[in-house]
Amino acid sequence: MPQPTASLAAQAIPRQIWQVGRSWVEAIGEFGYYMRDWWLLNPEYRYDFLDDREAAQFVQEHATSNESMAYDSLLVGAQRTDLLRMLLLKYRGGVYADLDAKLLAPLRTIVPPRASSVNGRFWSSEMLAYEPMHPFLLRAAEMITAGVLRQVLLHREGDPARCNAPATCVIYVTGPVIYRGAVDAELAANGCGYRGSRHFRHCRASEAIRRTHVCRSDNGTVYLPWICGVVRHFDCRNNNRGCAGPACHMKMYSSGYQSAKHRACLPGHYMYAQNFFNLSVLRDGRATAARPLRRCQNEYSSHAECKAERKELAARAGTQAMLP
């Protein structure tokens, strides 16, 4: 795959593209239409695809004990990808893209040289660009890890407060909701305003946050974002939301760009999942939790009591889970 050349101008975000899937053969067969533009349009970037074995090896070599335990606890591919994208960028940096994310223009058109991260105004996680160890990534990895370990404990106890559906066990525990929540939490902790402000130049507490770039050229909605005007996520779940077919695509975005082909969600998609966590990863005696409050139904609840309980459970999962 293409490698960066020595003549390129310096850039804070590594020129590295990451994509992940069960296997290269399966991914290129189903998503090749979307994948190919990531290396064809960005010859100055290194492109790496990680299959399940390589992803597990990366986690083993780079992640903390808790992050590794959380990753091993996840049964659904979408959940593992949610955590893995944060870990890839946390430790190595670069650009992550979902397999069904279509790139229309080179990354150099949207990545400023000094930017520590690039986000669309909807803060979607289908495409992420970060320098290593960015505060948003540290917070996101921490919150996803704590949330996964908390859910393992709740499921082991059969507690009614556990998540029980794809929307709660994926989107809220590991997916875009918790990512945006992590960004909000880190901004609040540093007195840096809120996501909607689009710029954080006044954030004195964090130099990396000050260099965060939020694109102003997004179109669409939070469900169908056109990230930074050049990246579109063709999620199979959204085929019935007005984006199937060239005519619809041209109406919503641009003339002359052919729409991606209509896809139905396959049986392996997370929306069909029923089991989400491997409860044997945390062995008996390695982790315990206080009985959760009934109002704490997900990782994004805002009740003060729920926040306090989540903090306690995360601390217990983070310390006791590592005991021998």
Q: How confident is the model at residue 256 (pLDDT cuts 50, 70, 90)?
A: very low
- Ordered by start, the domain boundaries in the chain are 16-233+288-320
Rounded mean pLDDT, 243-272 = 47
More confidently predicted of 301 and 164: 164
- 3-state per-residue secondary structure call for the chain: CCCCCCCCCCCCCCCEEEEECCCHHHHHHHHHHHHHHHHHCCCCCEEEEECHHHHHHHHHHHCCHHHHHHHHHECCHHHHHHHHHHHHHHHCCEEEECCCEEECCCHHHCCCCCCCEEECCCCCCCEEEECCCCHHHHHHHHHHHHHHHHHHHHHHHCCCCCCCCHHHHHHHCCCHHHHHHHHHHHHHHCCCCCHHHCCCCCCCCCHHHHCEEECCCCEECCCCEEECCCEEECCHHHCCCCCCCHHHHHHHCCCCCCCCCCCCCCCCCHHHCCCCECCCCCCCCCCCCCCCCCCCCCCCCCCHHHHHHHHHHHHHHHHHCCCC
Sheet arrangement for strand 225-227 = 101-103, 231-233, 225-227, 219-220
Query: Hey, which of 173-182, 231-240, 280-289, 302-311 has the most confident mean pLDDT?
Result: 173-182
Residue 4's pLDDT is what? 54
Residue 32's pLDDT is what? 94
Q: How confident is the model at residue 167 (pLDDT cuts 50, 70, 90)?
A: confident
Percent residues over pLDDT 90 in the chain: 50
Q: Are 12 and 114 in contact (CB under 8 A)?
A: yes
pLDDT tens profile 31-42:
999 999 999 999
Distance separating the N- and C-terminal Cα atoms of the chain: 42
pLDDT at 293 > cutoff 50: no
Range from 37-41, 44-48, 271-275 carrying the lowest mean pLDDT: 271-275
Residue 6's pLDDT is what? 54
Predicted TM-score (pTM) of this structure: 0.79
- 3-state per-residue secondary structure call for 10-67: CCCCCCEEEEECCCHHHHHHHHHHHHHHHHHCCCCCEEEEECHHHHHHHHHHHCCHHH
More confidently predicted of 271 and 310: 271
Residue 2's pLDDT is what? 56
**CA neighbor of 284 nearest in space, from 259, 320, 312, 313:** 320
Range from 28-42, 97-111, 258-272, 308-322 carrying the lowest mean pLDDT: 308-322
**CA neighbor of 168 nearest in space, from 154, 185, 156, 184:** 154
At residue 55, φ and ψ (nearest 5 deg) are -65, -45
CATH number, domain 16-233+288-320, options 1.10.287, 3.90.550, 2.30.30, 3.30.1560: 3.90.550
Question: What long-range pairs does 29-36 form, CB within 8 A, spacing at least 24?
Answer: 30/99, 31/99, 31/100, 33/102, 33/260, 33/261, 34/99, 34/100, 34/101, 34/102, 34/103, 34/234, 34/260, 35/99
Q: For residue 94, what are its two tokens?
A: 């670069």
pLDDT tens profile 187-238:
988 888 777 666 787 777 789 999 999 987 777 666 666 788 888 887 776 5
- Name beta bridge partners: 200: none
pLDDT tens profile 61-118:
999 999 999 999 999 888 999 999 999 999 999 999 999 999 999 999 999 999 999 9
Q: For residue 161, what are its two tokens?
A: 């407060």
